[in-house]
Amino acid sequence: MKRNVFSAFLIAAAFGSPTASAAEEAEAIRLNQIGFYPEAPKTAVVADNASSSFFLLSADEGDTLFEGSLGPAKKWAPSDETVKRADFSSFRDPGDYVLFVPGLGASHPFSIGHFVHQGVARAGLKSYYFNRASMALDEAYAGPWKRALGHADNKVYIHPSAATAERPEKTLISCPRGWYDAGDYNKYIVNSGITCWTLLAIYEHFREYADSLVLHIPENRNSLPDLLDEILWNLRWMLTMQDPYDGGVYHKLTSPEFCGFVMPDQDKLARWVVQKSTAATLDFAAVMAQAYRVYSDHLPSFADSCLSASLAAWSWARLHPDLLYDQNAMNALFSPRVNTGAYGDSNVGDEWDWAAMELFVTTGRDSFLLIADAFDKPQPAVPGWGSVRTLGFYSLLHHRKTIPAGSVDTLALKNNFFTFADGLRSEWMISAYGVVMGKSNGDFVWGSNAVAANQGMALIQAFLAFRDSTYLWAALSNLDYLLGRNATTYCFITGWGEKGPLNIHHRQSGSDRVKDPVPGFLAGGPNPGQQDGCAGYPSDLPARSYVDSQCSYASNENAINWNAPFSYLACAMEALLSPTGLPDKSSLKNRKAPVPDCLSLVRTYPNPFNANAVIRFSLAGPACLNMAVYDAAGRLVSEPVRKTRFTAGMHQVLFQGGGLPSGIYMIRVQSGAEVKTGKMVLVK
Ligand code: 9MR
């Protein structure tokens, strides 16, 4: 009988319980909980602390590897905190670490390494697969988050607000596929517009990287790059939302009310397409024009249909230049009343400009620009679902060398962009947190994390246009913000970092039987509007107004338009800062894991050991583990840990080797396709 056993325990149980205040104090050290690139800036923020120095320790806290002085105390208005910065940029050795501040303790663990954001970039993209409508999620791809098919959407009613002679009220049409917008199960064209454009921009701007990017999705053996397969799922739905008789696009496909927290297959509410709107039709025209450019090498006939659809949408919009979606006005006239997300926009000038710019870039015909008067308000702004003009500027900038000469003043375009990007970069230079986010309290809106991600994306455009690395570092500061260097202490991606959202407002996560939320979602983020009235917000301060509660749809929901700029930012960093500009090849062997690249065996200590050893490992996402110890002859010497679920973060397991002889022992830890091994020496 094997007498040696593992006992899983928390740090608290093994080394004596740290007090609650010790845990809180460690939370005063805010940093990117995933990690840093060897050659890039590395900053942590320390809140409210008297110390003047910090130390970089190995993850087991055994070795001190770097010592530095904290910067001067500075106030950050959005959180009303006084903070000091720890800069350890000059430390470049790859590995797993914690930052230790006397009087506070150790930070959340993090890594320094090449490809450090690859896992989280892929998780951000994989979240779209998890939000697919009209398909069952197979265990092979979804792991524990497998589910039955929901919302086939092959029998969708024409709402009276959308009725025409050819498609009278209650006509049934088929609009399958697409992604659920957010934590709800509806599908909205306006939000799909900016989302698909942003994801397609990953492909347009970083094609070589995106061609090699492997996502573990059902289509990954076909010849199309995985990213384009995923986006196709939503584009094909969008095409069904265009009325074939006139080219106009229905604003959204929705149930009249939000359903409860049930799994997709349990939502039996009828689904409707509602009135066409100019905003939806122009957003559609813009994305379909871009899709033509992206897909024409891969799927030429699909690309052609995208361009025809775009032109038909444009023609419809010219006949209906200002048909706004006003849900209250619609409800006053028609039944059933519709009370789901409105994505109502009272100004469609920017939608006109965006569609015009995309159609111009795609066709080379400057008549589009003349009609839309695209340069009426040339100043770029951080994009959002209701502010899309700047997406067109991004396309003009990206294609500036190939668009017909004389149509666009590319010098003015670059100058305007320079002024805009400079404003963002200057905040990074002066901010107490060293981040762009928080330039004004207006950054902390519903979905503020997407503001941070979109600021980062804007700075990437500046870097690509001007090749000044300070734009890149400013963009990276907002990725650090999203992954932990913020006043809430959260790493905002579900399943990632040591402290991620656990109770996201997402119907599947709230109704499946899996403890962990579906991974890869960016939570909405701090929002002092607190429109959900949810209890438990820790503060009204703009940067701290976030609560990890399911009821908090105003700060803790996910949404496709928020995950897109996050995914862009993380992918751009990988493409620009990895040694090859391509995804790490070694990750390809992990294509079977639902949350890939997540396991690392950090250290065993003491080593050599006498009787007991602590095995420390980290998981970047929640996972099921097997663990065993073998002697030098390959014989199993322990009761193995079998199929045990661990959350994301750092864990320790105690190995009790009291009855074993001195010698070399091998640890084997396995999660899905990932296997890590380590050696430890028992000396009696
Ligand atoms: O992201 C949207 C935010 O800008 C709006 O202020 C808010 C209220 O209208 O709606 C947000 O979008 C939600 C949409 O209406 C319905 N699906 C969930 C979206 C994210 O919360």
The residue nearest atom 14 of ligand 1, judged by CA position, is 341
**pLDDT at position 587 over 60:** no
**pLDDT at position 50 over 90:** no
Share of the chain above pLDDT 70, in %: 92
What spacing in Å lies between the alpha carbon of 450 and ligand 1's midpoint?
Answer: 12
Of 396, 390, 406, nearest in space to 361 by CA: 396
- The mean pLDDT of 536-547, rounded to a whole number, is 98
Q: What angle do CA 510, 254, 279 make, to 5 degrees?
A: 120
Q: DSSP 3-state assignment of 646?
A: strand
Index of the ligand 1 atom closest to the CA of residue 562: 1
- The mean pLDDT of 483-498, rounded to a whole number, is 96
Using pLDDT thresholds of 50, 70 and 90, give the confidence band for residue 598.
low
Give the tens place of pLDDT for each residue, 149-160.
999 999 999 999
Is 1-113 CATH 2.60.40.10?
A: yes
Domains of the chain by residue range: 1-113, 118-587, 597-684
Given a contact cutoff of 8 angstroms between Cβ atoms, the answer to whether 66 and 506 are in contact is: no
Of 620, 560, 610, 596, nearest in space to 674 by CA: 596
Given a contact cutoff of 8 angstroms between Cβ atoms, the answer to whether 117 and 566 are in contact is: no
pTM of the full predicted structure? 0.87
What spacing in Å lies between the alpha carbon of 559 and ligand 1's midpoint?
Answer: 8
The residue nearest atom 20 of ligand 1, judged by CA position, is 559
Q: Which two tokens stand for residue 171?
A: 């006509």
pLDDT on residue 650: 66
Catalytic residue IDs: 184, 505, 548, 557
Give the tens place of pLDDT for each residue, 238-289.
999 999 999 999 999 999 999 999 999 999 999 999 999 999 999 999 999 9
Q: Return d(Cα 85, Cα 662) in angstroms, integer.
A: 46
The backbone torsions φ and ψ at residue 670, rounded to the nearest 5 degrees and listed phi first, read: -140, 135
Q: Name the residue of 131, 179, 184 whose CB sits within 8 Å of the most ligand 1 atoms, as the mutation to test its pocket.
A: 184
Q: Name the residue of 127, 181, 551 whose CB sits within 8 Å of the most ligand 1 atoms, as the mutation to test its pocket.
A: 181
Same topology, domains 1-113 and 597-684? Answer is: yes
pLDDT on residue 648: 64
pLDDT on residue 374: 57
Using pLDDT thresholds of 50, 70 and 90, give the confidence band for residue 642.
confident
The residue nearest atom 2 of ligand 1, judged by CA position, is 446
Q: Return d(Cα 151, Cα 184) in angstroms, integer.
A: 12
- The CATH architecture annotation of domain 597-684 reads Sandwich (2.60)
Give the tens place of pLDDT for each residue, 118-164.
999 999 999 999 999 999 999 999 999 999 999 999 999 999 999 99
Is 118-587 CATH 1.50.10.10?
A: yes
Index of the ligand 1 atom closest to the CA of residue 182: 18
What spacing in Å lies between the alpha carbon of 251 and ligand 1's midpoint?
Answer: 14
pLDDT on residue 632: 82
What spacing in Å lies between the alpha carbon of 313 and ligand 1's midpoint?
Answer: 25
The DSSP call for residue 489 is: -
Index of the ligand 1 atom closest to the CA of residue 553: 21
Pairing of strands 53-58, 95-101: antiparallel
Q: Return d(Cα 19, Cα 270) in angstroms, integer.
A: 52
**pLDDT at position 597 over 60:** no
DSSP of 535-602: TT-S-SSGGG-----TT-TTTSB-BHHHHHHHHHHHHHHHHHHSSSSS--GGGGGGTTSSS-S-EEEE
**pLDDT at position 575 over 80:** yes
pLDDT on residue 318: 97
> Residue 132's beta-bridge partner residues?
179
Q: Return d(Cα 159, Cα 252) in angstroms, integer.
A: 11
**pLDDT at position 26 over 80:** no
The backbone torsions φ and ψ at residue 80, rounded to the nearest 5 degrees and listed phi first, read: 50, 45
pLDDT on residue 24: 56
Give, in order, the Cα–Cα distances in Å from 159 to each of 184, 192, 252, 270.
20, 20, 11, 11
Length of the chain: 684
Q: Name the residue of 253, 340, 343, 385 whose CB sits within 8 Å of the most ligand 1 atoms, as the mutation to test its pocket.
A: 343
pLDDT on residue 673: 64
**pLDDT at position 594 over 80:** no
What spacing in Å lies between the alpha carbon of 292 and ligand 1's midpoint?
Answer: 29
DSSP of 27-84: TTEE--SSEE-TTS--EEEEES----EEEEEETTS--EEEEEE----EEEGGGTEEEE
Q: Return d(Cα 350, Cα 46) in angstroms, integer.
A: 41
List all residues whose CB is within 6 A of at least one atom of ligand 1.
Answer: 181-182, 184, 341-342, 446-447, 553, 557, 559
Given a contact cutoff of 8 angstroms between Cβ atoms, the answer to whether 436 and 479 are in contact is: no
What spacing in Å lies between the alpha carbon of 554 and ligand 1's midpoint?
Answer: 8
The DSSP call for residue 318 is: H
Average pLDDT over all residues of the chain: 91
**pLDDT at position 566 over 80:** yes
pLDDT on residue 377: 64
